A and B are shown apart, each in its own frame.
Chain A
């Protein structure tokens, strides 16, 4: 149990484009994610949601502002140190799954452990458990191109969970799935926080989506509009409803 927030973002700016004509993707974004919290960030396409995730994971560097992960600032870290920080703190779930086509489902899931260099024996036990809970135990020896979209995303979630990182960053995880498969994935993500699906304590999920149904599963919903958070529209659970999310979006004219 750590003290303080798992994620702390302060005054985050991100500019793209020429230095003389910068295009602000994110403007003065500040928020926190507490351990064991399920936070959703909503916003229209191009609002900067995915960029925000890249900055949180250390894949990209902010133009200004700070990001702290697990109490440690990413500012000033070189590429290698940011990579190691990401390896320790973050599990990533992508909209397009990003499974490695040449690896089997089992190998894809175990990949973070292999990258981290070891604990494979322990990993195999965790894998079996995760696969059972995610209902992909029968598909472990299949290759990505043999899976359905829902199966691929469950495999992707398993890969994000196997390393036991405290923060799960989910970038439109249901964006490429049918409604049914999407609902299953959201159940799993919710379960990561509530039921400690993999036996890990205090896992937080930061979900980026434009789907109100998915957002309603979160503890807290933040709205990102034109690169800035709209604090007045933020929703706080428990008991968030799809209607409430819709209303908030309407209020923001999204």
Chain B
């Protein structure tokens, strides 16, 4: 083992450049993918944690009128009946002293058989609710604070009733009315404390003064009194959220817990999947670099193998040397990669960069070792297999052949086998294993699988080109620099010869650059389409609008009359007449819509809104939930009943409000809003003013100030600034992709650099001889720069082509996956920026090899054979 350690250590230390850059390749690849996974984990856990704290289920449902049983709904499981109310709780039986110690607590009633599986509470002590229907027992779970206040513990009896109070006020026809008159003597039942809740989720409700009981028992307590019955349900893991919403909307009013769907919306899934794919690309490029390095150094290593054999070293000993070296290289690279990835993820999180966009605050930093370690191991093992295989494959060659060395790689069969293994490892095994370790985000829909397979197909294509058909790429690269032979005869001639002599190196380097260029062009093409979609939306929704907020409470009618006296004012929309049931519903004064949008073209729409419970949906909501004109929409009213509206138009012309920014909403007449939700629609603090296209937007400010006799802290915002903010959001949200692209570009650069460096080392003698023949340093530099330029031109050109051709596919896929309507804007200038970037990376990567080549000792080179 001593020999193995010595030789392996010397080999790594005496070629610091090769070692360093190989290590950097593995480490950077693993670091990127680890960073992506850790970032995503912390994004989801960090952002859902606070949302889960409230103890809400994944889904809260209300059925339309008359439906009392919940039929099976695709994507929903464990639905339990539920209601919440107040309870009066005592530790003393009725008629005993100390009854004044009764406590008011929140009451949550659920099916006792299913409640434990919903994950909405945890027990600090004791057992879950006994199933009342089976055992007849009356158990109850209590909050910690209630247990303290009543000084009760497990097994103690509690007497619970509904509070003695007036009936609850509910909104009926625009008026808050009291519900049924309470009974004089509420029913009081004896319960036994089954368990004590932790101070989280449901256990936090009412500051810990809470009881959880069986639904039927709860109903008994509230018999004859109005309760708001709902269902609580759990979302099936992996179900598509948009499909679930669409299904639910057909028969129910629903509320989805943000924690359950965070990161699961179509656009979020697409974003996270994209990030994961970028991670895979980085890992693949990192391993590409190491394999490339190894294949390049094979000739050199074969001579070493021959020498060792000639000196009496056994094949087993030689195998141990190279295995040890590979373990040291891959192991250090993997360890550095994991550490670097964790540091990178932490650094990104502290800068507010997450896998759900930028600007989100995540306080925690957790390391999902169950994913990180397998990823590190995956990188390590594949690097190891790639490192050891050449030596195993070449183990059968003769020592004399090995000593000659230069013949080793010229064996076509061996070269093909060698490259095929790498293509198999990188094109099939690595992506396959990667998706086992890092599962696909959300449901593996057909569209998503097609996109992923296509992405892997592109990787495979480049891998095939680079590894199996390198001669084609090198011929093209050589042809690219031939025209320069008139001006730079020596450099062009030598670069061409070098390219032709090392087709695999050129092919792999060009393919790496092509991959990154295609990634950049595709990504930027996609963001341009997203920006284009924003612009199309903005032209309808925000252009020619001015938002006014922070007004003192203002009578809408008076303000409207005042503003309409100004030229160019087409209509006013109310900003603060809104409810959420289950999506954002805005109330509008129907007559204000007459001057623009679809109501200007079809006056009957206004009648639909006012008289036939019509509803205008925003385009995104309609697309996401698959609503069409005429479809029913079930909304939960404030009294818990469900009201059915009908879609009368789909348009973004009305209703968008940037506080908060929401593009999924519906509009109903504010008469309905008042009637069903008891919202004051006559008084506003916020309005949006729609102007004619050529109107002066400054008149809104002037008019409002005049109306209010001064500024009074009122704020204004124009449609143009809203558009600019949306576009800035896209740029900001894609910062993570930009970072990943830069990292992969560095990796591709490392691949080129490594190839050039190995070439420099292999060609040290050649460079020395050339120097002896009168070649200047400038000519050496020219030779290498031209070679790199050819690689850059080829890689950049190929990548640009793939990217430009791929943009429609990427955008089309995103449309299908994320449910967006995206215009095909193409990659625009990014195609050329990507191309020039590839050439620049290739040229930059050649600087160190040039320096290294020019340090070649010509005297030493020409002394030896």
State the A residues within 8 Å of B (CB): 50, 54, 57, 59-60, 79-80, 83-84, 86-88, 90, 92, 94-96, 98, 100-103, 107, 111-112, 114-118, 120, 145, 159, 171, 176
Query: Are A118 and B865 within 8 A (Cβ)?
Result: no
| Additional pairs, 12, CB under 8 Å, beyond known A83-B775, A101-B766 | A54-B859, A57-B772, A59-B772, A79-B777, A80-B778, A84-B774, A94-B772, A100-B766, A101-B406, A102-B501, A107-B493, A114-B489
Partner of A115, one of B501, B773, B859: B773
With both beta carbons as reference points, the residue of chain B lying nearest to A60 in the complex is identified as B859
Query: Are A83 and B490 within 8 A (Cβ)?
Result: no
Residue of B770, B772, B778, B859 with most chain A CB atoms under a 10 A cut-off: B772
Pairs across A and B, CB under 8 Å, 29 listed: A54-B859, A59-B859, A80-B776, A80-B777, A80-B778, A83-B771, A83-B774, A84-B774, A84-B776, A86-B774, A88-B774, A92-B772, A94-B769, A95-B865, A98-B769, A101-B406, A102-B497, A102-B498, A102-B500, A107-B497, A114-B490, A114-B494, A115-B773, A115-B779, A117-B489, A117-B490, A118-B489, A159-B773, A176-B865
Task: Give the distance in Å from the alpha carbon of A237 to the alpha carbon of B765 in the complex.
Answer: 37
Task: Give the distance in Å from the alpha carbon of A116 to the alpha carbon of B493 in the complex.
Answer: 12
Partner of A87, one of B489, B497, B774: B774
Within 816-865 of B, Cβ neighbours of A (below 8 Å) are at: 858-859, 862-865
The smallest C-beta distance from B851 to any residue of chain A, in angstroms, reads 14
Given the contacts A80-B776, A84-B776, A145-B406, A115 and B862 also touching, CB distance less than 8 Å: no
Query: Are A98 and B862 within 8 A (Cβ)?
Result: yes
| Ranked 3 nearest A-B pairs via Cβ | A87-B774, A96-B865, A102-B501
The smallest C-beta distance from B859 to any residue of chain A, in angstroms, reads 5
Chain A residues contacting B858 (CB-CB under 8 Å) are 59
Chain A residues contacting B494 (CB-CB under 8 Å) are 114
Task: Give the distance in Å from the alpha carbon of A193 to the alpha carbon of B314 in the complex.
Answer: 53
Chain B residues contacting A100 (CB-CB under 8 Å) are 497, 766, 769-770
With both beta carbons as reference points, the residue of chain A lying nearest to B407 in the complex is identified as A145
Partner of A116, one of B770, B772, B774, B865: B774
With both beta carbons as reference points, the residue of chain A lying nearest to B488 in the complex is identified as A117
Chain B residues contacting A94 (CB-CB under 8 Å) are 769, 772, 862
Task: Give the distance in Å from the alpha carbon of A171 to the alpha carbon of B119 in the complex.
Answer: 86
Query: Are B406 and A114 within 8 A (Cβ)?
Result: no
Task: Give the distance in Å from the alpha carbon of A120 to the alpha carbon of B858 in the complex.
Answer: 26
Task: Give the distance in Å from the alpha carbon of A87 to the alpha carbon of B779 in the complex.
Answer: 13
Task: Give the distance in Å from the alpha carbon of A215 to the alpha carbon of B771 in the complex.
Answer: 28
Query: Are B489 and A120 within 8 A (Cβ)?
Result: yes
State the B residues within 8 Å of A (CB): 406, 489-490, 493-494, 497-498, 500-501, 765-766, 769-779, 858-859, 862-865
Task: Give the distance in Å from the alpha carbon of A92 to the alpha carbon of B768 in the complex.
Answer: 12
Query: Are B766 and A112 within 8 A (Cβ)?
Result: no
Query: Are A115 and B865 within 8 A (Cβ)?
Result: no
Chain B residues contacting A87 (CB-CB under 8 Å) are 773-774
Chain A residues contacting B500 (CB-CB under 8 Å) are 102
DSSP class of B's interface residues: helix, strand, loop or mixed? helix
Task: Give the distance in Å from the alpha carbon of A116 to the alpha carbon of B775 in the complex.
Answer: 8
Query: Are B776 and A83 within 8 A (Cβ)?
Result: yes
The smallest C-beta distance from A134 to any residue of chain B, in angstroms, reads 18
Task: Give the distance in Å from the alpha carbon of A112 to the alpha carbon of B771 in the complex.
Answer: 11
Task: Give the distance in Å from the alpha carbon of A93 to the alpha carbon of B770 in the complex.
Answer: 13
With both beta carbons as reference points, the residue of chain B lying nearest to A99 in the complex is identified as B769
The smallest C-beta distance from A119 to any residue of chain B, in angstroms, reads 10
Task: Give the distance in Å from the alpha carbon of A101 to the alpha carbon of B410 in the complex.
Answer: 13
Task: Give the distance in Å from the alpha carbon of A145 to the alpha carbon of B406 in the complex.
Answer: 10
Task: Give the distance in Å from the alpha carbon of A116 to the alpha carbon of B770 in the complex.
Answer: 11
Chain A residues contacting B770 (CB-CB under 8 Å) are 100, 111, 115
Given the contacts A80-B777, A92-B772, A98-B769, A115 and B498 also touching, CB distance less than 8 Å: no
Task: Give the distance in Å from the alpha carbon of A94 to the alpha carbon of B769 in the complex.
Answer: 9
Query: Are B777 and A50 within 8 A (Cβ)?
Result: no
With both beta carbons as reference points, the residue of chain B lying nearest to A102 in the complex is identified as B501
With both beta carbons as reference points, the residue of chain A lying nearest to B501 in the complex is identified as A102
Chain A residues contacting B501 (CB-CB under 8 Å) are 102
Partner of B773, one of A92, A118, A145: A92
The smallest C-beta distance from B781 to any residue of chain A, in angstroms, reads 12
The smallest C-beta distance from A122 to any residue of chain B, in angstroms, reads 14
Chain A residues contacting B497 (CB-CB under 8 Å) are 100, 102-103, 107
With both beta carbons as reference points, the residue of chain B lying nearest to A54 in the complex is identified as B859
The smallest C-beta distance from A127 to any residue of chain B, in angstroms, reads 15
Chain A residues contacting B864 (CB-CB under 8 Å) are 96
Query: Are B490 and A115 within 8 A (Cβ)?
Result: yes
The smallest C-beta distance from A224 to any residue of chain B, in angstroms, reads 17
Chain A residues contacting B493 (CB-CB under 8 Å) are 107, 114
Task: Give the distance in Å from the alpha carbon of A100 to the alpha carbon of B763 in the complex.
Answer: 9
With both beta carbons as reference points, the residue of chain B lying nearest to A51 in the complex is identified as B859
Chain B residues contacting A117 (CB-CB under 8 Å) are 489-490
Task: Give the distance in Å from the alpha carbon of A145 to the alpha carbon of B501 in the complex.
Answer: 14
Task: Give the distance in Å from the alpha carbon of A80 to the alpha carbon of B779 in the complex.
Answer: 11
Task: Give the distance in Å from the alpha carbon of A115 to the alpha carbon of B766 in the complex.
Answer: 14
Chain A residues contacting B778 (CB-CB under 8 Å) are 80
Task: Give the distance in Å from the alpha carbon of A100 to the alpha carbon of B865 in the complex.
Answer: 12
Residue of A50, A100, A159, A171 with most chain B CB atoms under a 10 A cut-off: A100
Task: Give the distance in Å from the alpha carbon of A120 to the alpha carbon of B492 in the complex.
Answer: 14
Chain A residues contacting B776 (CB-CB under 8 Å) are 80, 83-84
With both beta carbons as reference points, the residue of chain A lying nearest to B410 in the complex is identified as A145
Task: Give the distance in Å from the alpha carbon of A57 to the alpha carbon of B859 in the complex.
Answer: 10
With both beta carbons as reference points, the residue of chain B lying nearest to A116 in the complex is identified as B774
With both beta carbons as reference points, the residue of chain A lying nearest to B865 in the complex is identified as A96
Chain A residues contacting B498 (CB-CB under 8 Å) are 102
Given the contacts A102-B498, A114-B489, A115-B490, A59 and B771 also touching, CB distance less than 8 Å: yes
Chain A residues contacting B490 (CB-CB under 8 Å) are 114-115, 117
Task: Give the distance in Å from the alpha carbon of A164 to the alpha carbon of B859 in the complex.
Answer: 23
Chain B residues contacting A176 (CB-CB under 8 Å) are 865
With both beta carbons as reference points, the residue of chain B lying nearest to A83 in the complex is identified as B776
Given the contacts A100-B769, A102-B500, A115 and B774 also touching, CB distance less than 8 Å: yes
The smallest C-beta distance from A247 to any residue of chain B, in angstroms, reads 31
The smallest C-beta distance from A13 to any residue of chain B, in angstroms, reads 17
The smallest C-beta distance from B337 to any residue of chain A, in angstroms, reads 36
Task: Give the distance in Å from the alpha carbon of A112 to the alpha carbon of B769 in the complex.
Answer: 11
The smallest C-beta distance from B777 to any residue of chain A, in angstroms, reads 7
The smallest C-beta distance from B313 to any residue of chain A, in angstroms, reads 27
With both beta carbons as reference points, the residue of chain B lying nearest to A118 in the complex is identified as B489
With both beta carbons as reference points, the residue of chain B lying nearest to A79 in the complex is identified as B777
With both beta carbons as reference points, the residue of chain A lying nearest to B487 in the complex is identified as A117
With both beta carbons as reference points, the residue of chain A lying nearest to B861 in the complex is identified as A98
The smallest C-beta distance from B405 to any residue of chain A, in angstroms, reads 11
Chain B residues contacting A107 (CB-CB under 8 Å) are 493, 497
Task: Give the distance in Å from the alpha carbon of A114 to the alpha carbon of B773 in the complex.
Answer: 11
The smallest C-beta distance from B515 to any residue of chain A, in angstroms, reads 28
Query: Are B489 and A111 within 8 A (Cβ)?
Result: no
Chain B residues contacting A60 (CB-CB under 8 Å) are 859
With both beta carbons as reference points, the residue of chain B lying nearest to A87 in the complex is identified as B774
Task: Give the distance in Å from the alpha carbon of A179 to the alpha carbon of B762 in the complex.
Answer: 32
The smallest C-beta distance from A225 to any residue of chain B, in angstroms, reads 21
Chain A residues contacting B406 (CB-CB under 8 Å) are 101, 145
With both beta carbons as reference points, the residue of chain B lying nearest to A80 in the complex is identified as B776
Query: Are A98 and B765 within 8 A (Cβ)?
Result: yes
With both beta carbons as reference points, the residue of chain B lying nearest to A101 in the complex is identified as B406
The smallest C-beta distance from B383 to any residue of chain A, in angstroms, reads 30
Query: Are A111 and B773 within 8 A (Cβ)?
Result: yes
With both beta carbons as reference points, the residue of chain B lying nearest to A89 in the complex is identified as B774
With both beta carbons as reference points, the residue of chain A lying nearest to B779 in the complex is identified as A115
Task: Give the distance in Å from the alpha carbon of A130 to the alpha carbon of B719 in the complex.
Answer: 81
Query: Are A112 and B773 within 8 A (Cβ)?
Result: yes
With both beta carbons as reference points, the residue of chain A lying nearest to B766 in the complex is identified as A100
